[in-house]
Structure 1
Amino acid sequence: MVIGAVAAVIGFVLVVTLGIVAVVIADEDAAATETTDGGGGLQGVPAEFREWILKADAACKEPAMVPSLLAAQLYQESKFKTSREEATSHAGAQGPAQFMPGTWATWGRDADGNGEASPWDIGDAVMAQGRMMCSLLKQARTSGYPGDVRALALAGYNAGWGRVEEFGGVPPKSFANGETYNYVRIILSTMKRFEGPGLLQVSGSGLGADALRKAATQLGTPYAYGGGGPGGPSVGFCDGTNGYKDGKCAASSTVGFDCSSLTQYAYWPKLKLPRTAQAQYGATSDRPVSRTQLKPGDLLFWAHGGNGFIYHVAMYAGDGNVLHAPRTGRHVELAPLTSAMPQGDYVGATRP
């Protein structure tokens, strides 16, 4: 909760993102090694929050600001809830970032362009949260107070910067029954769970590089079997074999991509690829590319035993890595080409 109205400490519940595979085949269990940059990426947040968290992070030049900090803070404040019933505190804090009306008057803007600055609008709330945290991080960095600047900024967000000044740092456990102290501790300890794949830097121009750059904006987006398309991530479905996790249909409640909808989204509308991995291979197989000649954006395909039905597609991301949506239970990620899928299943690459 922002300024003076301190939220009760809520035990953290791990948010499990759901994950990844082609629309037309059974989910694979191949191992994939993720790359991370210590917080530059993002995972485990609802799709409607992801865009705004990344924008808020990009707008802040303070080195201590990372997307996972904003994500962990939003989870602690509201668990990403947006309804007035679920996101109104007993003290009157409002919306997913839990702004008090007086504080909202200072930081609120119409970030989403709908004509109203509202703490209930996800874009408005997250961008206001980012602006306030950015300011607090700067105050913390220049304050001379001991300790982690993120801890100081979080304490200022929760209890007011005046309390940080009063105590010369994060208020102790004796202040407000330890609520600010625990607020800070919980958020810092749960940031790691929201750290996603590193932000991919794509150089160059052309159809492939542009497609890869577009796909990279979806790093950390959940996998949803049958979900996604040219317009972005969407809820998927289960077909009796695919889309299940722990015996339950995960796809029908997950907004995300599968492997071929991600590549379709990446190239659309400059190149309108068909929907499935098999069809995408058929549409581009007349332009094969050897492993030694791969360029960013090239499509890579896998079939069981290296022959027959194509069950997976990925995009070459450079430096021996691919960007793909692997299977249910995972998310859009970077992985080494050599371990993204079974090496014996690799069919080859094409250049759309």
Structure 2
Amino acid sequence: MKVLITAAAAVIGLVLVVTLGIVGVVIADEDAEATETTDGGGGLQGVPAEFREWILKADAACKQPAMVPSLLAAQLYQESRFSTNATSHVGAQGPAQFMPGTWATWGRDDDGNGEASPWDIGDAVMAQGRMMCSLLKQAEKSGYPGDVRALALAGYNAGWGRVEQYGGVPPKSFAGGETYNYVQIILSTMPRFEGSGMLQVSGSGKGAKALRKAATRLGTPYSWGGGSPHGPTLGFCSAGSGYRNGTCVADDTVGFDCSSLVLYAYWPDVKLPRTAAAQYGATSDRAVSRQNLKPGDLLFWSHGGSGAIYHVALYAGDGNVLHAPRTGKTVEVVPLTSAMPDRDYYGATRP
């Protein structure tokens, strides 16, 4: 197995934006980008595995030069945070936030399950791609000033009629700046989804599969108490944990903590307990020496004995680990020797 790492971890901030009745939470990078992905990625990174296939298909189906996978990914993130059950108070539905009337125009049964649904990932992303492709074509022909992607995004958010009304992206004075901000945020977050696949995971088996799944969440914020077998969730603050600079941030941050990331990675093939200590207890009968680590093995750190385990990570090969480190950081790949204090390394197990 070969692991390639080309960027340091980013510190992620959350920016809350309200766009025409749709509340979107957008990640804003404060430091260097670090959202590696797996298996080539097709020019896409930091995207959940269940969305990647459809984003790449939607991109391939559009012949407009301005269409790229990172545009669709950043837009989906703004619309729903890649949530399949996202709704808005104005009636927008699903991961691409289609209104019923708009869905009637663009929605199809792309995933072949017998129903065209804005809640289905495949149907929603392909419909998003078709609509954006059409809007990019309109933007290119319009002759309006500015980036055609900005014009298309404005059309998606506010309707093409508003773009025609203003002869471009509606200004900040329109709808309280909602469309203007929607466009600017998506364009600014596109780079964090651009990539050619920095983490390559080879091999088969439960460990390699779990590592591949976890790697789709690289760049996701750390959130104490956050995360579930099904993906990132809001966290909470407790006993000094979840705070940054004295302020509780976990209860406003959708993400993973160290053990929920491991839980997510192995689920449902291996249904591990929720906490790092319990995960060690459930797998300690299958201990692995540091010299015999394989991709997906669990690594643990402790302040003293199995009862004081405080951190768990996935072995990523080549002496590296993939983990959710702490509040203020994101899911990242780092050397095992620097992931946590080396003196605290307690051991490894194989689920």
Quote the offset at 1:34 in angstroms: 3.5
Structure 2 alignment gaps of length 5 or more: 1-17, 61-66
Partner residue of 2:290? 290
**CA offset digits 1:34-86 (Å, max 9, x no partner):** 4557983348xxxxxx67764642332346121543146538xxxx97333xx
**CA offset digits 1:236-273 (Å, max 9, x no partner):** 44432323345454445555432123223323444343
Q: Return the alpha-carbon distance in structure 2 between the equivalents of residues 184 and 153 of structure 1.
A: 11
Quote the offset at 1:309 in angstroms: 2.4
Give the AA of the match of 2:325: P
Partner residue of 1:27? none
Q: Secondary structure at the match of 1:224?
A: coil
Partner residue of 1:310? 309
Q: Return the alpha-carbon distance in structure 2 between the equivalents of residues 176 and 249 of structure 1.
A: 31
Report sequence identity in percent: 56
Give the AA of the match of 1:278: A
| 1:130 maps onto 2:129 in alignment | yes
Q: Return the alpha-carbon distance in structure 2 between the equivalents of residues 250 and 175 of structure 1.
A: 32
Quote the offset at 1:107 in angstroms: 0.7
| 1:205 maps onto 2:204 in alignment | yes
Distance 1:236 1:288, change over 3 A: same
| 1:65 maps onto 2:65 in alignment | no
Alignment of 1:47-126 (within 5 A): 54=52, 56-62=54-60, 64-66=68-70, 67-71=72-76, 74=79, 82-84=87-89, 87=90, 94=92, 103-109=102-108, 117=117, 121=119
Is the 2:154–2:183 Cα contact (8 Å) retained in structure 1?
Answer: no
Partner residue of 1:46? none
Is the 2:58–2:125 Cα contact (8 Å) retained in structure 1?
Answer: no
Partner residue of 2:8? none
Q: TM-score, normalised by structure 2?
A: 0.62
Alignment of 1:1-352 (within 5 A): 15=26, 34-36=34-36, 40-42=44-46, 54=52, 56-62=54-60, 64-66=68-70, 67-71=72-76, 74=79, 82-84=87-89, 87=90, 94=92, 103-109=102-108, 117=117, 121=119, 128-136=127-135, 150-151=149-150, 153-154=152-153, 157=156, 171-172=167-168, 182=180, 186-187=184-185, 189-192=187-190, 195=193, 200-252=199-251, 254-282=253-281, 283-284=283-284, 286-291=286-291, 293-304=292-303, 309-352=308-351
**CA offset digits 1:196-231 (Å, max 9, x no partner):** 996744221012112212323443444333344445
Distance 1:71 1:98, change over 3 A: closer
Distance 1:240 1:180, change over 3 A: closer
Is the 2:132–2:153 Cα contact (8 Å) retained in structure 1?
Answer: yes
Q: Return the alpha-carbon distance in structure 1 between the equivalents of residues 27 and 74 of structure 2.
A: 18
Q: Return the alpha-carbon distance in structure 2 between the equivalents of residues 191 and 350 of structure 1.
A: 37
Is the 1:263–1:314 Cα contact (8 Å) retained in structure 2?
Answer: yes
Q: Return the alpha-carbon distance in structure 2 between the equivalents of residues 314 and 284 of structure 1.
A: 15
**CA offset digits 1:291-313 (Å, max 9, x no partner):** 5x432101122234899822111
Q: Return the alpha-carbon distance in structure 1 between the equivalents of residues 276 and 172 of structure 2.
A: 56
Structure 1 alignment gaps of length 5 or more: 1-6, 18-30, 44-49, 89-93
Q: Return the alpha-carbon distance in structure 2 between the equivalents of residues 186 and 208 of structure 1.
A: 40
Q: Secondary structure at the match of 2:59?
A: coil
Is the 2:232–2:254 Cα contact (8 Å) retained in structure 1?
Answer: yes
Distance 1:343 1:162, change over 3 A: same
Quote the offset at 1:286 in angstroms: 4.9
Give the AA of the match of 2:75: L
Q: TM-score, normalised by structure 1?
A: 0.62
Q: Secondary structure at the match of 2:315?
A: strand
Quote the offset at 1:314 in angstroms: 0.4
Q: Return the alpha-carbon distance in structure 1 between the equivalents of residues 193 and 279 of structure 2.
A: 32
Which one is further off, 207-216 or 134-143? 134-143
Give the AA of the match of 2:308: F
Give the AA of the match of 1:287: A
Q: Return the alpha-carbon distance in structure 1 between the equivalents of residues 228 and 179 of structure 2.
A: 44
Is the 1:35–1:335 Cα contact (8 Å) retained in structure 2?
Answer: no
Give the length in aligned residue pairs.
309
Distance 1:52 1:151, change over 3 A: farther
Give the AA of the match of 2:208: A
Q: Return the alpha-carbon distance in structure 2 between the equivalents of residues 175 and 225 of structure 1.
A: 38
Give the AA of the match of 2:279: Q
* Higher strand content, 1 or 2: 2
Is the 2:242–2:248 Cα contact (8 Å) retained in structure 1?
Answer: yes
